[in-house]
Structures are given as C-alpha cells and as structure tokens.
C-alpha cells in the first residue's frame, strides 16, 4: 500500500515529524527544569510578576503546557491565575491556555497519527481509553471532562485520532472544564483577598472530587460506554 504520493511528499512528512520531535523534546526539558516552580503557587506567582505586562501571556502559555505535559498540575496554575489576576481575568486566562494546549494536542495527534500518541501516552491510559471518544460521542466526552481527576489531558490526544473536527472538540472542552476551573480560580482570588477559610473549603471540594474521579475512573468509563 502506497502511503505517500511522491518521494518529495515522503521527505516533507519525515522532516515535519523530525521537527515536531525536536520541539517536543525541547519543551519536555524546559518543563522538567521549571516544574518545581510550576508546582508551587507562591513561587509561580512571583515568577509571573517578573514578566510585568506580559504576565497574562506567560500564564496562558503555562496553562497550555500543562495540557500537553501531564505532570504539571493544571489546577495549581488555575489557582495562581485567580491569585494573581482575580476571578474574572484569571478564569479567562486559564481557559485560554487550556484551549490552546488542547488544540495543540488534538492537532499533533491528527497530523502525526497513532504512533506519536503511543509514544507520548502511558500504556495504561491507552489500554483504558483507546477508542473511548469515538464510542461515547459528544455527550459522553462532555460528562467525562466535567469530572475532575480523570485523564482529560490524554483524551485531548486520543480525540485527535478520531474523525472529530477541532471546533467541535474545543466546544466540548471549554464547557466541560469550565466548572472546576471557575471554582479553583475563585479560590485563588479568595486567597489573594485574605479569605483563607472559604478558599480552603472550595479547594477541599475540588480535591475531593478529583480524588473520587480518579478512584472511580474505570467505573465512570464503563457507565459512559453503556450509556
């Protein structure tokens, strides 16, 4: 079976794959270097302050990176966003970053296909959720993304292997992720205002839901599959 239409098309595809690999490796090294900062809200806010008027852009980029590189906790970035920019602007910046990162993950998977996704995702995630997006459709994916603690970042890559369009996928992502991010960003704003108890209460709810979602991920997937 002929995959490429011509030798030139094959060379362009190989060059594109090599370029994407170099960019991913470079980004991975950068994430590993700055991960301790990204995991500490106080250090992250101080680091953002150093960007001055470009701090919102830096926040958007960081939030996008947490989608592509799962070790970065997205809720921590959302918390800092609320702490640094307030609930309204913080939510806007966080969601912009999430949409950017989700779009990049989806597009990479769409362009380079399953071999790249298999290299990026853990085998356990692939085993559990392979074909999940195609099977459950828009309502199922929306229900999945709403629940904190599930591997929704990995789902962004797996969604790129389907026949979905990017705009449909992003519409599901923004609606599904909005509740948890609004709560976390609001908690960050409350911390900045000195309202520690309400902030901790909100974070407690988000953490509890995340732990529950992670513990019940297989059951949730089975329910959505049957539905």
Express each pLDDT in 98-119 by its tens digit. 999 999 999 998 888 888 888 8
Residue 225 has pLDDT above 80, yes or no: no
Report pLDDT for 96: 94
Exposed (0-12), middle (13-18) or buried (19+): which is 218, by Cβ within 10 Å? exposed
CA dihedral 102, 165, 120, 19 (to 10 degrees): -90
Give the per-residue pLDDT at 224: 75
Is the model more confident about 180 or about 40?
Answer: 180
Tell which wins on pLDDT, 169 or 74: 169
pLDDT at 71: 56
Q: Return the DSSP state at 51.
A: T
Two tokens at 133? 């997006």
What is the token pair recorded at 120? 């990026």
Rounded to whole angstroms, the Cα distance separating 106 from 119 reads 15
Of the ranges 2-6, 85-89, 121-125, 215-219, which one carries the lowest mean pLDDT score?
2-6
Please tell me the predicted confidence (pLDDT) of residue 99.
93
Q: Is 83 exposed, middle or buried (0-12, 13-18, 19+ CB in 10 A)?
A: buried
pLDDT for residue 194: 81
User: Which tens digit of pLDDT belongs to each residue from 157-198?
Assistant: 888 888 889 999 999 999 988 988 999 999 988 888 888 888
* Helix axis angle, 87-120 to 74-85, nearest 10°: 160
Residues 6+ apart with CB under 8 A from 80: 41, 44, 45, 48, 59, 188
CB 121 within 8 A of CB 154: yes
Question: Considering the entire predicted model, what is its pTM?
Answer: 0.73
- pLDDT band of residue 29 (cuts 50, 70, 90) is very low
* Size (the chain), residues: 227
Cβ distance 48 to 63 under 8 Å?
no
Among the residue ranges 32-46, 73-87, 140-154, 201-215, the one predicted with the least confidence is 32-46
Least confident span in 3-7, 39-43, 76-80, 179-183:
3-7
Predicted pLDDT of residue 4: 39
């Amino acid at each position: 079976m002929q995959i490429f239409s011509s030798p030139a098309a094959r060379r362009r595809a190989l060059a594109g794959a090599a370029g994407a690999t170099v960019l991913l490796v470079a980004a991975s090294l950068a994430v590993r270097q700055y991960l301790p900062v990204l995991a500490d809200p106080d250090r992250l806010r101080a680091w953002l302050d150093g960007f001055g008027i470009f701090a919102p852009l830096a926040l958007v980029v960081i939030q996008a990176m947490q989608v592509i590189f799962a070790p970065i906790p997205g809720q921590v970035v959302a918390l800092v966003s609320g702490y640094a920019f307030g609930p309204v602007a913080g939510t806007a910046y966080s969601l912009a970053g999430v949409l950017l990162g989700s779009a990049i993950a989806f597009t990479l998977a769409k362009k380079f296909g399953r071999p790249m996704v298999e290299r990026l995702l853990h085998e356990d995630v692939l085993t559990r959720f392979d074909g999940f997006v195609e099977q459950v459709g828009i309502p199922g994916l929306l229900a999945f993304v709403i629940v904190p603690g599930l591997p929704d970042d990995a789902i962004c890559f797996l969604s790129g292997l389907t026949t979905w369009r990017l705009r449909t996928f992003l519409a599901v992502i923004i609606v599904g992720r909005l509740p948890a991010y609004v709560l976390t960003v609001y908690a960050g704003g409350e911390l900045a205002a000195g309202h520690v108890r309400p902030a901790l209460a909100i974070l407690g709810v988000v953490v509890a839901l995340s732990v529950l979602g992670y513990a019940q991920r297989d059951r949730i997937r089975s329910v959505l599959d049957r539905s």
